[in-house]
């Protein structure tokens, strides 16, 4: 075991457990006080504690369950995917209550009998972990359960613990009655750099170790820089670094090992969908261009005819991709073969239209010198040889696919804009405008200009997908 190499009595950085060491930072003390308020103060029905994944919410629940509340009985729901009837079964089992049947009415009668026989100061608390996973139907059933026991002087307290999106969900109109009943709210925040070091010291001290005996100078700070102040990430980084140092036969975790582990962990947990999405347009364009070139070599006659019928300059084609497609107006020019009066002279208002061959060759790469027809004294002018250079279709013959691509690239100016505020992340923005983290993909696709989706700048302008409007601040 790696911890034996560092003279520790056990693994210091394990996942949350009822008997694990707990470091109470100021934010964790506030969170614990929020949980206890539903048991030691006047009961109001609901308590809410939220925090980002890995901030230590489950650890606080274990700490709450280990405390001795003489007049309180607590039921802990750690699987929010259960139905309401299954949740009621867990509650009755943990409270040692007997039900005569297995219906909702039977479970409520068993709970009523207990509330009628309880002491005046005895209370019941139901703690639901990962409550953001609860369905709207179960949340509504819990609210109705709270209403059901109002006749027992609010002897039942429901404590919901979950991610920040839980607070966002409760703002929905259909859950407003439940949201209005929450009187005690708390938010767990990430640890500061100084608190992160104290957290590691607390974990090592519980197993008989010290930071100075485990980590070389600068190694621990290198790891903590990648932790974002989240206890779960700190546990993973320190555990992996100590294991790597053990395998490398190091007496302490070296700075080199810490830097390697920090980089590998950061690369493994960051979102990489943005990089794939950024390469998609280039891949599609490259594939289409390759197909056109292959068509030119296989069917040169067909390719030549297509080029003559769809002549446009490279500069015009580029302009078409960034501006809306405008129809091309054709004006009959005098002095041109086929005009009703071919003998007329061109005027300044109606400039002579270039021959299609001249227009195509003038914009072909490397063909500027041979753009104009050569003139011979002994004979009529002859057009230069037409090189097989792929060109984009004319504006008047733009394909539906090109028009669709034009609309997509021009869309940011037509979509709603939002300004990044302090503390905003793509996850928080997705929750704010879509109601859940599933909207991250839509935000990424709508903001192809982002170079790093893990770092947003304050004041940065982002675009919302079509149909999504910003909320009022």
Q: Are 190 and 230 in contact (CB under 8 A)?
A: yes
Start and end residues for every CATH 1.10.8 domain found in the chain: 2-14+192-269
Least confident of 107-111, 168-172, 330-334, 468-472: 330-334
In angstroms, the Cα distances linking 356 to 26, 347, 412 are 76, 20, 35
Amino acid 44: pLDDT = 65
Between residues 198 and 450, the one the model is more confident about:
198
Higher pLDDT, 85 or 308: 85
What is the residue-wise DSSP string for 180-202?
A: HTEEEEEEE-PPPHHHHHHHHHH
Give me the mean pLDDT over the 49-57 stretch. Answer: 93
Rounded Cα distance, 11 and 118, in Å:
43
Has residue 355 got a pLDDT over 60?
Answer: no
Rg of the chain's alpha carbons, rounded to an integer?
A: 35
CA distance 35 to 29: 10
Read off the pLDDT band of 268 (50, 70, 90).
Answer: confident
CA 435 vs CA 47, 415, 424, 430: distances in Å: 21, 19, 15, 7
What pLDDT does residue 409 have? 42
User: For residue 338, is it left (φ>0), alpha (ψ between -120 and 50) or beta?
Assistant: left
Pairing between β-strand 379-382 and β-strand 374-376 as defined by DSSP bridges:
antiparallel
29 vs 157, more confident:
29
SS3 of residue 420 by DSSP: coil
- The pTM of this model reads 0.57
Q: Going edge to edge, which strands form the sheet with 156-162?
A: 72-77, 123-128, 156-162, 46-51, 182-188
Please give the DSSP secondary-structure letter assigned to residue 294. H
How far, in Å, CA of 252 to CA of 245, rounded?
7
For the chain, residues classed under CATH 3.40.50.300 are 26-188
| pLDDT score of 260 more than 70 | yes
- pLDDT tens-place string over residues 204-235: 999 999 999 999 989 999 999 999 999 999 99
Q: Domain 26-188 has what CATH class?
A: alpha beta
Half-sphere exposure of 182 (CA within 13 A, CB side): 22
Q: Which of 236-250, 417-431, 447-461 has the highest mean pLDDT?
A: 236-250
| Domain at 415-463, CATH class | alpha beta
d(CA 49, CA 189): 11
299 or 459, which is more confident: 459
Collapsed DSSP state (helix, strand, coil) of residue 76: strand
Q: What does the mean pLDDT of the chain come to?
A: 75
Tell me which residue has tokens 């007329």. 344
- Give, in words, the CATH class of 2-14+192-269: mainly alpha
User: What is the location of CATH 3.10.350.10 in the chain?
Assistant: 415-463
Report pLDDT digits (tens) over 277-328: 444 444 444 555 555 566 555 566 555 665 555 554 444 444 444 444 444 4
pLDDT given for residue 351 in this prediction: 45
Is the per-residue pLDDT at 256 higher than 90?
yes
Q: How confident is the model at residue 183 (pLDDT cuts 50, 70, 90)?
A: confident
| Token pair belonging to 279 | 């390469």
Do residues 62 and 17 make contact, with C-beta atoms less than 8 angstroms apart?
yes
């Amino acid at each position: 075991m790696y911890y034996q190499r560092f003279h520790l009595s056990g693994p210091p950085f394990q996942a949350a457990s009822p008997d694990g060491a707990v470091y109470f930072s100021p934010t964790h003390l506030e969170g614990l006080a929020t949980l206890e308020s539903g048991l030691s103060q006047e009961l109001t029905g609901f308590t809410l504690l939220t925090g980002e994944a890995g901030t230590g919410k489950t650890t606080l629940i274990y700490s709450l369950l280990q405390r001795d509340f003489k007049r309180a009985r607590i039921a802990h729901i750690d699987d929010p995917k259960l139905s309401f009837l299954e949740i009621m079964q867990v509650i009755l089992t943990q409270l040692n209550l007997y039900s005569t049947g297995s219906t909702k009415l039977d479970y409520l009668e068993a709970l009523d009998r207990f509330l009628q026989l309880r002491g005046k100061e005895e209370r019941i608390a139901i703690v639901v972990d990962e409550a953001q996973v609860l369905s709207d139907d179960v949340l509504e059933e819990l609210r109705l359960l709270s209403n059901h026991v109002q006749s027992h002087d609010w002897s039942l307290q429901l404590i919901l613990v979950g991610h920040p999106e839980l607070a966002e969900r409760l703002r929905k109109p259909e859950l407003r009655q439940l949201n209005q009943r929450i009187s005690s709210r708390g938010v767990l925040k990430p640890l500061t750099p100084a608190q992160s070091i104290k957290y590691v010291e607390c974990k090592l001290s519980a197993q008989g170790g010290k930071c100075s005996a485990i980590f070389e100078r600068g190694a621990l700070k290198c790891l903590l820089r990648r932790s974002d102040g989240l206890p779960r990430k700190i546990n993973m980084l320190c555990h992996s670094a100590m294991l790597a140092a053990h395998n490398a036969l190091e007496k302490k975790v070296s700075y080199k090992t810490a830097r390697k582990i920090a980089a590998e962990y950061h690369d493994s947990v960051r979102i990489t969908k943005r990089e794939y999405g950024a390469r998609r347009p280039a891949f599609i364009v490259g594939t289409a261009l390759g197909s056109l070139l292959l068509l030119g070599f296989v069917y040169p006659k067909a390719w030549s005819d297509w080029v003559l019928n769809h002549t446009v300059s490279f500069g015009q084609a580029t302009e078409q991709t960034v501006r809306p497609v405008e129809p091309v107006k054709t004006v009959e020019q005098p002095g041109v073969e086929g005009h009703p009066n071919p003998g007329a002279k061109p005027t300044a208002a109606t400039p002579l239209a270039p021959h299609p061959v001249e227009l195509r060759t003038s914009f072909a790469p490397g063909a500027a010198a041979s753009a104009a027809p050569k003139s011979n004294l002994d004979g009529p002018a002859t057009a230069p040889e037409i090189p097989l250079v792929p060109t984009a279709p004319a504006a008047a013959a733009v394909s539906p696919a090109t028009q669709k691509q034009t609309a997509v690239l021009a869309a940011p100016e037509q979509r709603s804009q939002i300004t990044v505020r302090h503390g905003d992340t793509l996850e928080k923005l997705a929750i704010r405008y879509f109601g859940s983290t599933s909207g991250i993909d839509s935000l990424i696709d709508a903001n192809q200009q982002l170079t790093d989706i893990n770092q947003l700048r304050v004041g940065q302008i982002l675009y919302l997908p079509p149909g999504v409007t910003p909320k009022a601040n």
